[in-house]
Amino acid sequence: MRVVSTIQEVREQVKAWKKEALSIGFVPTMGYLHEGHGSLITNARQNNDKVIVSIFVNPMQFGPTEDLASYPRDLEKDSAFCKSLGVDLIFHPEPEEMYTKNFCSYVDMDVLTKELCGLSRPLHFRGVCTVVNKLFNIVKPDRAYFGQKDAQQLAIIRRMVEDLNMDIQIIGCPIVREEDGLAKSSRNTYLSQEERKAALCLSRSIKMGQALVEAGERDAEKVIARMQEEINKEPLATIDYVKCVNGLTMQQIEHIEGPILVAIAVYIGKTRLIDNFMME
Ligand code: AMP
C-alpha cells in the first residue's frame, strides 16, 4: 500500500492502472477511520481492481465556529487500518496541495443543499461538492463509495454526478453502528462518558420513528413529534432538527409516501451528531 500526498503522485499511479485497464474504487474520507469507513472500503475492495482512500480534513466544508482545528487525526492508525483492508493507495494531501493561493472556483448546488444540515451549516455542502469534484478529477474512479450515515451528502453527490454528467457510479452503503446503536462517527471521540450515554437518544429516536412508519403511520408531523419527545427526555441533548423529507429532493413533506428520509441532528453538549433512516 502506498501513502502519497501530492496530486501528481496520484495521477501517475492512476494513469499506470488505467493503462492496464484496471478499475478503480474510491472512498473519500476525513480520516480517523472506524468500521463505518471500513464497510465502504470493504465494498470497494470487493468490486474493483484497485482501491484508493483519500484522507483529507477539508477546511472548505467547515464553518468559522466549527471543529476544523480539533477534528481528530491519526494517519498512522488510519494507514494500518487501510492496509489491513487491502487498500492500494492512500491520498493524504495538505490543504495547500488542494487549495492553491488564488483558488476561487466552487461547485455549488441549489435545492438539496438548502434543507437539513444545509440550514445550520450554510456553506458546508459547497465545500463538500467542491472537494469531491476535485478528488474525482484527481482519482478518476469508476466507482465511489459514500455512507448512508450522511444521507443528505449522499443524495447531493448523486445529484451532482447526474447534473454534471460525471461518468462515476455512486454506491451508497448502510449505516454502521456501535453495539448499543450509536452510529459510528469520528466525532464520537469528543464525547465524555456521560455524553456517550446521552448520545443514545439519537438512535433510540431513529428506532422509534422507523417503527412508527413501519407500523403504518403516514403523518410526518406525528412521527417527528414522537421522535423529538424521545430526544428531549435527555437533558444533555439539544435538537438542531428532526425532519421528514423527500428522499431525493430533501424537501420537507407532510405525508409519508415514496422514498423518504427522516433525519436528525442533535447537540450532545457541544458535539453535533447526526443520524437517519430511509424508507422506499
Ligand atoms: P467522514 O470521514 O466522516 O467524512 O466520512 C467519510 C465517509 O464515510 C462518508 O461517506 C460517510 O458517510 C461514511 N461514514 C461515516 N460514518 C459512517 C457510518 N457509521 N456508517 C457508514 N458510513 C459512514
Give the C-alpha separation, 274 to 201, whole Å.
11
pLDDT of residue 280: 87
Give the C-alpha separation, 202 to 149, whole Å.
12
Q: Is the CB of 132 under 6 A from ligand 1?
A: no
CA 26 to ligand 1 center in whole angstroms: 13
Q: Which atom of ligand 1 is nearest to the CA of 32?
A: 2
pLDDT of residue 124: 98
> Can 37 be counted among the known catalytic residues?
yes
10-residue stretch averages of pLDDT, the chain, 280 residues long: 98 98 98 98 98 98 96 98 98 98 97 97 97 98 98 98 98 98 98 98 98 97 98 98 97 96 98 96
Q: Is the CB of 109 under 6 A from ligand 1?
A: no
CA 65 to ligand 1 center in whole angstroms: 22
Q: Spot the catalytic one: 34, 37, 124, 255.
A: 37
Contact 156, 129 (CB under 8 A): yes
pLDDT of residue 11: 98
Ligand 1, atom 17, lies closest to the CA of 36
Q: Is the CB of 135 under 6 A from ligand 1?
A: no
